[in-house]
Amino acid sequence: MPSRRATTLMLGLAQTLAWASSYYLPAVLAQPIAKEIGAAASTVFAAFSLALIVSAAVGPWAGRAIDRFGGRPVLIASNLVFAAGLVGLSQATAAIHVFAAWALLGLAMGSGLYEAAFATVVRLHGRDARSAITGITLLAGFASTVGWPLTAYLESSAGWRGACLAWAALHLVLGLPLNALLPRAAREPASREAAPPGEEHGAELPAAQQRRAAWVMAYVFAVAWFISTAMAAHLPSLLQASGATLAVAVSIAALVGPAQVAGRLIEFGFLQRAHPLLSARLATLAHPAGALCLGLVGVPAAAAFAVLHGLGNGILTIAIGTLPLLIFGPKGYGQRQGFLMVPARIVQAGAPFLFGLAIERWGTGALWLSAGMGLTACAALLGLKLPRAQPGARSALASSRN
């Protein structure tokens, strides 16, 4: 059986491929796809939003399957669906074909991105999965760094259809074997499937506190994904609205990716000894702090804003996997994680459009909207109290360092 480090490496590489060939695809291919099918680029992004909504609906189902059968068969199936969706997209000649292909890709995203990978390692390692979750996000943090240039190269050399076919082939020759090498998990009986968040009594928290914690985390995760997606779509234009030139705005926006990886390294090192709830609270303050710097100082503080935003976003990605594990335990983790991420996927689908409207109306003042949301997420986490004595949680934190 592969070691935990080998499992983390395989999942991290497979996740890099999955994110690069789905979430980061429209940024490069939306324009050429739209031009060839005779539609606006916004139509392609609308199809991508549909994929996010489909992934939200699929998440709890995929998580329940991982809870029962382990992540290996679910992730292998996701590679096949990713490949089918990308092949379908490569053959699109009308807008309806693009929507159909992205709906299929949404099915793969709901069963093959972070939530599925986190549920897989929790199913294999239980409460000791924190370090594996961090390692997976650390590797997959390079998805945009790898995906955007590779997609652009493929599009320039083989066209957007060839680029989609190349990504489909990579799922079959790289992603599928990586997931197929994952350890098999013993099948769980149906009675151990999770109820919706807060309706399961197996963790240390009483049922009432579980329900409250579930609502808090669902809200915090939704805020995190809204801000992350809004910045991914609009950061260069937002920096231009603050007075930066296009070249400066693009170069500063490029700092977000490395900053996210740096944030995960900080979590992997310094913050690994801290309580995951403390890490999450600090991370929710990073974007508001950066927005304050940009609002008070202007363009000279733009780089600080990009770095702070990236640091916080990188740590929050890990918190999305570790907080539910800490509070609810490993039993039924996959299905519960799917439920918790439904609001996040839905608001993520609307984030580019809604934040774009805010920028049109308020310019850089739109940052006060995202900063305010970040502060409310921090306040929600500050109000989340855990029992003082949690032996299981404490032992998990200790074992995750081994």
Structural domains of the chain ordered from first start = 4-184 (1.20.1250.20), 207-399 (1.20.1250.20)
> Rounded distance, CA 51 to CA 104, Å?
7
For the whole model, what pTM was predicted? Answer: 0.79
> Rounded distance, CA 334 to CA 50, Å?
23
Count CB atoms within 10 A of the CB of residue 157: 10
Query: For residue 170, what are the CA distances in angstroms to 16, 24, 82?
Result: 11, 15, 10
Q: Which residues contact 183 (CB under 8 A, 6 or more apart)?
A: 1, 2, 7, 70, 72, 124
Region 123-127 average pLDDT: 81
Does the structure show a pLDDT above 70 at 2? no
Residue 188: pLDDT band by 50, 70, 90 thresholds? low
The alpha carbons of the chain give a radius of gyration, in whole angstroms, of 20
> Rounded distance, CA 110 to CA 108, Å?
5
> Rounded distance, CA 112 to CA 121, Å?
13
Report the phi/psi class of residue 332: left, alpha or beta, with left for phi > 0 and alpha for psi in -120 to 50. left
* Both structure tokens of 393: 């949680």
- Assess contact for 12 and 136: CB atoms under 8 A: yes
pLDDT digits (tens, 9 = 90+) for 60-87: 899 889 988 888 999 999 999 999 999 9
- Assess contact for 17 and 170: CB atoms under 8 A: yes
Does the structure show a pLDDT above 90 at 149? no
> Rounded distance, CA 330 to CA 127, Å?
6
